[in-house]
């Protein structure tokens, strides 16, 4: 099926934070119960086209996966009359935990700057399902689970995906992951083979490059500007692809994108930029791996001395977000990776992927025999918080709080840069999302620039900065095309990882480092 010739607007309808929920049947509440995203969609997809067929793009490894025989057999447990002696599933009697108690932050006083301790407690025991007090309990969460995750929390994820992205094709599905890095690794194994190339921003997430390297997959960097990847540069690379220049690699079919608060540069693609890149992907039939953990950390433009615009409601907050590639995806060519790591906690290792059913089916078969499933305690904890306690509206209010806090932190680090960094040597564009501020250093002003390369000067500055007491990330760590000579010096800073006074001190120390290394003449 070809691409659908229709434009997708930013928002065609008001986001509904209280959808009419689909029930979770008794059969879906048990240990290792099977379920499908289709069971929890609250909107009809009958009017939407199906996704393109991507089977020719799948690797031999992916097409040869048969999945887990043991997990497939668990579907028969939906019959309450069946007595199972076939699976190595222990009784919960032998789990040394009787109860878990959680105390979430209060949403009532987040905007008042007060402490957010709450008198509310969320708790789970081994008997909540049997007692009828909850649809999810420790007897299920602490046992084995399908690779795609529990039905109980999957329902919330499917509803969230509908509210935020409402994919424009019919056969989309979700599967839980143990985080975006693991999901990316599985996607690479599904869609590439040794010798292939993946397209990405010129500077990109270093762990993605390092994940691909042992698989024999090489990254190719695409030029960027302040909005991230340039569509014309992407198109030119694909139009002029010459296998002989890339070790006989076939033309790339995978595009890796971090469209919001890009790591490491902090750039955010506008709606128009995303549409332009998507059109290039249609032209060259690319599959887009949308890695978007910073999606909800979008901010207003930085204005010196002005406070951020106030957002008064969850619906207003959601409508201000730049639409995702998934929301634009009329073909079913996007595999979107979402994560709770940047907006709730990273240690839970819990996220999810959304893609056409044919790709999710392959993904599930992989996870069933590798990661097995996201940790049950993580799923239960998020279920209690997001499903039973906050709901979609409460979660959005929490995200509104994070937006305000990260905007304040962004403003703070930019203000510190303006006070402490020599602007004729160091320059920056204030980020509009995420948690990183990218700094450019004019290395050619270095006293030994004629005798040293940019990389040597970058290393000199970095080592001197460490000795001064400030650790920054070197730009070369994040280069997609490692074999292309670099003639630029950048550093990645974060405004998320330290108290504000320490952020200020680190920027001040980096400014001292620049002055020491460059020995600039006194400014008039």
Residue 520 pLDDT class (50, 70, 90 cuts): low
111, part of any domain: yes
Q: Do 292 and 369 sit in the same domain of this protein?
A: yes
Q: Do 315 and 456 sit in the same domain of this protein?
A: no
121, part of any domain: yes
Cβ-contact 363, 63 below 8 angstroms: no
What would the 3-class secondary structure string for 280-319 be?
HHHHHCCEEEEECCCCCCECCCCCCCCCCCCCCCHHHHHH
Average pLDDT in the chain: 91
Residues contacting 86, CB < 8 A, separation 6+: 70, 73
CA distance 410 to 418: 12
Q: Do 489 and 349 sit in the same domain of this protein?
A: no
Which of 347, 375, 401 is the last residue in one of the domains?
A: 401
Mean predicted confidence (pLDDT) in 77-94: 72
Q: Do 372 and 506 sit in the same domain of this protein?
A: no
DSSP assignment of 412-450 equals HHHHHHHHHS-TTTEE----SBSSEEEEEE-GGGSTTTT
CATH number of the domain bearing residue 432: 3.90.1150.10
Q: Do 385 and 474 sit in the same domain of this protein?
A: no
Full residue range of the structural domain in which residue 182 is found: 26-401
Mean predicted confidence (pLDDT) in 203-213: 97
Name residue 122's beta-bridge partners. Answer: 102
**Res 23: pLDDT:** 93
Tell me the pLDDT tens digit for each residue of 499-509. Answer: 999 999 999 99
Range of lowest pLDDT (2-11, 206-215, 351-360): 2-11
356, part of any domain: yes
**Res 386: pLDDT:** 98
Mean predicted confidence (pLDDT) in 226-238: 98
Is the pTM higher than 0.85? The answer reads yes
| Tally of structural domains, the chain | 2
Q: Do 191 and 87 sit in the same domain of this protein?
A: yes
Given a cut of 70, whether residue 489 has pLDDT beyond it is yes
**Res 303: pLDDT:** 85
Range of lowest pLDDT (73-82, 94-103, 430-439, 480-489): 73-82
Q: Do 113 and 250 sit in the same domain of this protein?
A: yes
Residue that wins the pLDDT comparison between 86 and 16: 16
Nearest alpha-carbon partner for 426 in 335, 513, 361: 513
Q: How many CB atoms lie within 10 A of CB 136?
A: 23
Residue that wins the pLDDT comparison between 406 and 112: 406
Q: Do 396 and 441 sit in the same domain of this protein?
A: no
**Res 76: pLDDT:** 61
């Amino acid at each position: 099926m070809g691409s659908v010739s229709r434009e997708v607007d930013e928002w065609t309808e008001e986001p509904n934070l209280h959808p009419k929920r689909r029930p979770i049947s008794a059969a879906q509440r048990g240990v290792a119960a099977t379920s499908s995203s289709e069971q929890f969609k609250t909107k009809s997809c009958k009017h939407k086209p199906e996704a393109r067929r991507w089977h020719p793009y799948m690797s031999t490894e992916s097409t040869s996966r048969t999945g887990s025989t043991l997990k497939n057999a668990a579907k028969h447990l939906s019959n309450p009359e069946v007595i199972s002696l076939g699976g190595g599933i222990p009784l919960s009697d032998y789990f040394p935990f009787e109860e878990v108690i959680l105390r979430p932050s209060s949403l009532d006083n987040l905007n008042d700057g007060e402490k957010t301790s709450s008198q509310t407690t969320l708790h789970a025991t081994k008997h909540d399902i049997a007692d009828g007090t909850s649809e999810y309990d420790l007897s299920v969460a602490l046992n084995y689970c399908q690779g795609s995750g529990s039905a109980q929390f999957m329902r919330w994820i499917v509803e969230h995906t509908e509210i935020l992205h409402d994919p424009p094709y019919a056969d989309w599905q979700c599967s839980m992951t143990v985080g975006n890095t693991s999901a990316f690794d599985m996607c690479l194994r599904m869609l590439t083979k040794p010798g292939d190339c993946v397209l990405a921003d010129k500077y990109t997430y270093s762990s993605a490059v390092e994940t691909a390297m042992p698989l024999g997959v090489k990254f190719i960097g695409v030029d960027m500007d302040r909005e991230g990847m340039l569509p014309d540069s992407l198109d030119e690379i694909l139009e002029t692809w010459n296998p002989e220049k890339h070790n006989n690699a076939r033309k790339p079919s995978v595009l890796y994108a971090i469209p919001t608060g890009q790591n490491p540069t902090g750039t955010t693609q506008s709606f128009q930029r995303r549409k332009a890149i998507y059109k290039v992907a249609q032209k060259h039939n690319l599959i887009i791996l949308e890695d978007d953990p910073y999606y909800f950390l979008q901010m207003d433009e930085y204005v010196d001395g002005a406070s951020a615009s106030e957002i008064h409601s969850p619906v207003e907050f959601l409508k201000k977000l730049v639409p995702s590639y998934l929301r634009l995806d009329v073909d079913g060519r996007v595999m979107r990776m979402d994560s709770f790591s940047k907006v709730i906690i990273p240690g839970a290792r819990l996220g999810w992927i959304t893609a056409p059913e044919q790709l999710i089916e392959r993904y599930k078969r992989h996870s069933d025999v590798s990661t097995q499933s996201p940790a049950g305690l993580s799923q239960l904890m998020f279920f209690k918080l997001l499903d039973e306690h906050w709901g979609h509206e409460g979660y959005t209010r929490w995200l509104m709080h994070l937006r305000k806090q990260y905007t304040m932190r962004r403003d703070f680090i930019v203000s510190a840069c303006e006070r402490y960094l020599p602007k004729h040597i160091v320059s920056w564009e204030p980020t509009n999302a995420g948690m990183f501020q990218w700094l450019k250093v004019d290395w050619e002003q270095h006293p030994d620039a004629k005798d040293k390369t940019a990389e040597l000067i970058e290393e000199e500055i970095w080592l001197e900065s460490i000795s001064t007491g400030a650790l920054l990330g070197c730009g070369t760590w994040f280069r997609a095309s490692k074999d292309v000579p670099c003639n630029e010096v950048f550093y990645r800073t974060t405004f998320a990882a330290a108290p504000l006074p320490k952020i200020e001190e680190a920027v001040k120390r980096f400014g001292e480092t620049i002055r020491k290394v460059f020995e600039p003449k006194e400014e008039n």
